[in-house]
Amino acid sequence: MKRSITAYWLGRIAYDRAHALQQALVDARIHSPARFGDVVLLLEHEPVVTLGRGAKEENILAGDEDLRARGVTVSETGRGGDVTFHGPGQLVAYPIIDLKPERCDVRKYVRDLAEVMIRIAGDYGVAAGVLPGDPKYVGVWVDERAPKTWDEARSLAASRGEVGAGAGAGVGASAGVASEAAPSPQLAKIGAIGVRLSRWITMHGFALNVATDLSGFRLIVPCGIQALGVASLTTLGVEPPSVEEVARRSLPHFASVFDADVALADAASVAALEALAAAAAVAAPAGAAAAAPDEGASPAGAGTSLPAAR
């Protein structure tokens, strides 16, 4: 039987408000599952630097005055990882989904979030992919030199600094004809992923750069990665779509990847959701969700909090 997911377009809202809503929905999903089903919150944030549980102070490059002058706030968050940036022009998706009983696999869940972003990028003619094997590269990447193609093997080699690895081995080379090596991929992150699970109920999610002002990433060392870049659909040549348009186009991809019926709620339902979630949070035992064991343990131990990739 397919699961049902209700999607809510929240527009542009402050990070702390969205975080509070997420936490209320997680509490409600745990303590009132009959009233609260699976949801995905779709939105964009006001400019904010968020700090994961592994955040290093030196990875915030801008001082407090500079951040204030740019209208950028700083918020701590319960996800794993280091420092990242959110801002207007970025599609943020926060699924609040109970992965039980058939999807209790954290790595698969993270890969599914990446797949949704890969398919969205494909809708706009951009080929994107993942760099498996190294947790610091969690997220979705593109080759800025060739945004319409994605070669995972060559991209992995490039991420390891193996310049030109795997290039020049085409048909011409096999026929004994000199073949000029293709340039090494120029990797840039277009989609970030950061999640936290409590009792297999998800929180946080992904951020896809649509028409984001990428100068915000220069305020930080995103997720502690200095060597690779950041991209958006618009920097890759896509005519800037609205974030709401991209949010709507994400729905069939959520449906396909999560084998779910996904329906978009109307504006009245958004207000009702916030009110019901707030009431449920008040009724729930204090700190219940925070105290709940984080199931879906990673190989590192019990407690799952994967980093928000840059």
Give me the amino acid identity at 263. Answer: A
Residue % of the chain over a pLDDT of 90: 51
The residue written with tokens 């729905």 in the block is 251
How many whole angstroms separate alpha carbon 231 and alpha carbon 166? 24
Report the C-alpha gap between 13 and 11 in whole angstroms: 6
- The mean pLDDT of 136-160, rounded to a whole number, is 94
CA 42-247-80 angle, to 5 degrees, is 45
Question: Which of 97, 43, 118 lies closest to 258, judged by CA?
Answer: 97
Same domain? For 46 and 134 the reply is yes
- Model pLDDT, residue 257: 98
Task: Give the model confidence (pLDDT) of 160-214 as tens digits.
Answer: 888 665 544 333 333 444 345 678 899 999 999 989 999 999 999 999 999 999 9
Indicate the DSSP class of residue 139: S
What is the spatial distance between Cα 71 and Cα 60, in angstroms, rounded to a whole number? 15
Residues 169 and 273 in one domain: no
Q: How far is CA 75 from CA 14, 55, 190, 220, in A?
A: 10, 11, 22, 14
Residues 131 and 166 in one domain: no
Number of domains in the chain: 2
Q: Of the given ranges (117-126, 144-153, 188-197, 292-301), which has the lowest mean pLDDT? A: 292-301
**237 lies in the same domain as 115:** yes
* Same structural domain, 118 and 71: yes
Distance, in Å, from the CA atom of 114 to the CA atom of 187, rounded to the nearest integer, reads 16
pLDDT of residue 277: 66
Max intra-chain CA distance, the chain? 74
Average pLDDT for the chain:
81
Domain CATH for 248: 3.30.930.10
Predicted local confidence at residue 255, as pLDDT: 98
Q: For position 173, what pLDDT does the model report?
A: 38
Shared domain check, 204 and 73: yes
Domain check: are 155 and 278 in the same one? Answer: no
Residues 157 and 201 occupy one common structural domain: no
pLDDT per position as a tens digit, 13-44: 999 889 989 999 999 899 888 888 999 999 99
Residues 174 and 247 in one domain: no
Residue type, 173: A
Give the Cα separation of 121 and 210 in Å (integer): 9
Residues 102 and 38 in one domain: yes
Q: What is the pLDDT of residues 100-115, one digit of tens each?
A: 999 999 999 999 999 9
SS3 86: strand
**151 and 115 within one domain:** no
Its pTM surpasses 0.85: no
Is 80 in the same domain as 203?
A: yes
Catalytic annotation, pick one of 5, 120, 203, 223: 223
User: What is the span of the domain harbouring residue 22?
Assistant: 3-143+189-306
Work out the average pLDDT over 135-164: 91
104 is an active site residue: no
The tokens describing 150, both together, are 């994605």
